[in-house]
Homo-oligomer: A and B are copies of this chain.
Amino acid sequence: MQSKTVKQLLTEDIVTPDVEVKGWVRTFRANRFIALNDGSTLNNIQCVVDFEHFDEATLKRITTGAAIHVKGELVESQGKGQNVEIQAQELIILGDSDPEKYPIQPKKHSFEFLRENAHLRTRTNTFSAVMRLRSALSFAIHKYFNDNGFYYMHSPIITGSDAEGAGEMFQVTSLDLKNPPKDDSGNIDYSEDFFGKETNLTVSGQLEAETYAMSLGKVYTFGPTFRAENSNTSRHLAEFWMIEPEVAFMDLAGNMDLAEDFMKSVIQYILDNNREDLEFLDKRLKDEDKTKPQAERSSMGLIEKLNFVTDNHFKRVSYTEAIDILRNSKPNKKKKFKYLIDDWGCDLQSEHERFLVEKHFKCPVILFDYPANIKAFYMRLNDDGKTVRAMDILFPGIGEIVGGAQREERLEVLKQKMAILDIPEEELWWYLDLRKYGTAVHSGFGLGFERLVMFATGMSNIRDVIPFPRTPQNAEF
């Protein structure tokens, strides 16, 4: 007979009463009730053991973390909390788990402790729910773009260009660091490196995605990106995944429409498909909040926050308008903001973004037309000469989640901006080519995947939403 997954047993109509299942023991109560989990769902299947019928040696090996194979009869459950359970007829121990040593005991572990055991932490309810949601969000993203005529494009990870300036880069090399080749002036001779030049890990696939948008029309990337920034915070990773759609013939208004529809669609997907995991995490967050002082508690529950995104129109507000609102806001006047809003031109902080979303507009907000000098060189300059066609989407609890722009499509304007920033044209000859041969209005945006997973799971540390986080002084596993 073929084994069923726990999910199948709990949700499908099983015709025959005889079933088999394999999984890991979560708990074994009263020498009688095994809670068995195989990762297919948050829920365990209860296996009821008639202990008189099993030898004691076997029963002793049914410990938390042990892998077992259960054969028995699927019956309606007598107890509360489940519809069906298995009356165990045969128990086969596949792999023991020494209860003295197994780190994942059925008790509350700190997230710090579980990070040190990242290879086992998905055996807990919280992390299995988070990682199932991470997977579901990934699929929702691919599905959205596929359904809407986008092509998935793998932008390169190793790059010979460091022109984008989005952050500090990691170097990639095959040179012997102890004894690297040097030229006559004592500089490293990169002609002897693997690629014949200095190479780094990419910080963004956008510029390459633009090349594909300007031929295939609608494309997106979804791949790893890197920052060598020594930021040891709960919001920074050295390695993280990013989604970057890019569309030819689309202006900033179209970009906002796309981003709003996209964000609503992927969040609706998990509301439709991952209800149990979301409800578990919603409750976890509420329980955690109860232990906090009132001021630090979340203003919304997890599912409430997701519905806030799917149910509301995203309010579109210019940067200039937003500065006016913030300047005249209560927290600014009462000096409650950590960074007070004074003049037009400053960059917004998370506290300002959250004020706009949570207090002022009470809906997701898209800010647009930012000052040119706080945004990247490739964003399209407006006719006012001082703002660019940038946009940021602001969400409750988190602030900026999406950043995008209409791209500068005019060759001469782009060249001028590069010259001011000392970006050599030879570095980006291929990027300039897009403006020489059939240039057109085009736009796109970037979404940090882990920020989306944090938002969708209510986890507050970014290290807890990626399988094996890479941070300063840490590349374990």
Partner of A120, one of B160, B223, B433: B433
Question: Chain copies in the assembly?
Answer: 2
* B139 & A195 in contact (Cβ 8 Å cutoff): no
Chain A contact patch, size range: 35 or more
A154 surroundings in chain B (CB, below 8 A)? 134, 224, 241, 466-467
Q: How far is the CB of A1 from chain B (nearest CB, A)?
A: 14
* A474 & B238 in contact (Cβ 8 Å cutoff): no
A216's nearest neighbour on chain B, judged by CB, is B39
Q: How far is the CB of A349 from chain B (nearest CB, A)?
A: 27
A441 CA / B98 CA spacing, docked (Å): 18
* A138 & B160 in contact (Cβ 8 Å cutoff): no
A441's nearest neighbour on chain B, judged by CB, is B94
A248 surroundings in chain B (CB, below 8 A)? 22, 38-39
* B467 & A153 in contact (Cβ 8 Å cutoff): yes
Known A40-B217, A139-B152, A196-B473: A174·B433 in contact at CB below 8 Å: no
* A199 & B3 in contact (Cβ 8 Å cutoff): no
Q: How far is the CB of A75 from chain B (nearest CB, A)?
A: 23
Partner of A475, one of B152, B158, B187: B158
Write the A1-33 contact mask toward B (1 if CB under 8 angstroms, else 0): 001010100000000000000111100000000
Q: How far is the CB of A153 from chain B (nearest CB, A)?
A: 6
Pick the interface stretch among A207-215, A358-366, A380-388, A396-404. A207-215
A123 CA / B434 CA spacing, docked (Å): 12
Known A238-B194, A248-B38: A156·B119 in contact at CB below 8 Å: no
* A22 & B468 in contact (Cβ 8 Å cutoff): no
* A156 & B241 in contact (Cβ 8 Å cutoff): no
* B158 & A215 in contact (Cβ 8 Å cutoff): no
A22 CA / B247 CA spacing, docked (Å): 12
A436 surroundings in chain B (CB, below 8 A)? 97-98, 101
Write the A60-101 contact mask toward B (1 if CB under 8 angstroms, else 0): 000001110100000000000000000000000011111001
* A475 & B171 in contact (Cβ 8 Å cutoff): no
* A239 & B135 in contact (Cβ 8 Å cutoff): no
Pick the interface stretch among A47-55, A175-183, A258-266, A287-295. A175-183
Interface residues, chain A, CB within 8 Å of chain B?
3, 5, 7, 22-25, 38-40, 65-67, 69, 94-98, 101-104, 118-120, 122-123, 128, 131-132, 134-135, 138-139, 142-143, 146, 149, 151-161, 168, 170-175, 177-178, 180, 186-188, 194-197, 199, 201, 208, 211-212, 215-218, 223-224, 226, 228, 230, 238-239, 241, 248-249, 409, 430-431, 433-441, 466-468, 470, 472-477
For the complex with contacts A65-B438, A158-B170, 12 further pairs of A-B residues with Cβ separation under 8 Å are: A65-B437, A67-B439, A97-B436, A122-B216, A134-B154, A135-B153, A156-B467, A156-B477, A158-B201, A171-B177, A175-B177, A195-B473
